[in-house]
Amino acid sequence: MQSKGQETYSHILKKSRNLFTVQGFQNTSISQVIAATDVKKGNLYYHFPSKEALGLAVLVDAKEEFFTILEDSLSGDNPMLKILNSCNTILAMMQQTNFVGGCLFGNTALEMAGSNSSFSEVIQEVFSHWTELIEQELLQAAKYDLPLPPISPDALATSVVAILEGGIMLSKVYTTSKSLEDCIFVIRTLLLLQR
C-alpha cells in the first residue's frame, strides 16, 4: 500500500505529466501545477525542490511506464507482427487523447533536448531503448524465415521510431489519426514486403 506521501508524489507526477504534455515544460508554471494538483506549495516543494526536478521526475516516470507498455505490446506470432502490434498500441494510446499533446518525449526532445542535459539524457534513453527493442525483433526475423527489406536492422528500427514520431506530429497538426495510420501502413508494407 502506498503511504500518503507516496500517493501525493504520484498524484503530482501524473497531473504534471498531463500539463507538460499538452502545454510544454517551459510554458507550464508552478502555479498551474499547484492549481491542477490541489497540493499546497510547501508540499509540492517538499517532494520536488524545483520545477526542473519535477520535470525530470515526470520524464523518468513516463519513461518507465512507456517501457512497460512497449514490452507488453510487442506480442504476436512473429517479430513483424509484434512490431506492428506495438505500433497499433501507440496509435490507440494517441487516439485516446485525440492527439492533444501528442508524445511527451517527442515534444520534450524538440523543446528541451538542446538546452537541458538531464532531460536530454532521459529522452535519449527512451528513443535508444525503443529502437533496440524493435531491432531485437528484426534480428529474430531470420529465425522465422521472414524476409527483411534490404536495410540494416539498426537503420530500419531507427526509421520505425522516426515514422511513428513524425506520424504523431502530423496527426497532432491536423488533429486526425489518419496521418499516423498512413505511417503505420507504410511500416507494415516495409516489414511484410517480399523481396
- Minimum distance from CB of 140 to its own copies (Å)? 20
Task: Determine if 93 is a binding residue for its own copies (CB under 8 A).
Answer: no
* Residue 133 binding its own copies, by CB under 8 A: no
Rounded CA separation 120/128 (Å): 12
State the minimum distance, in angstroms, from the CB of residue 149 to its own copies: 6
The minimum distance between CB 141 and its own copies, in angstroms, equals 16
**Site for its own copies (CB under 8 A): how many residues?**
48
By CB under 8 A, what part of segment 156-195 binds its own copies? Answer: 156, 158-159, 161-167, 169-170, 172-174, 179, 182-183, 185-186, 189-190, 193
Contact in structure between 126 and 66 (CB atoms under 8 Å):
yes
Per rule CB under 8 A, is residue 113 in the interface with its own copies? yes
Grid coordinates representing 14 are 501524473
Amino acid identity for residue 76 in this structure = G
C-alpha cell recorded at residue 165: 514520431
Neighbour count for residue 16 (Cβ, 10 Å): 25
The answer to the question of residue 27 lying near its own copies (CB under 8 A) is: yes
Residues found near its own copies in the complex (CB under 8 A): 22-24, 26-27, 100-102, 106-107, 109-111, 113-115, 120, 123-124, 127, 149-151, 154-156, 158-159, 161-167, 169-170, 172-174, 179, 182-183, 185-186, 189-190, 193
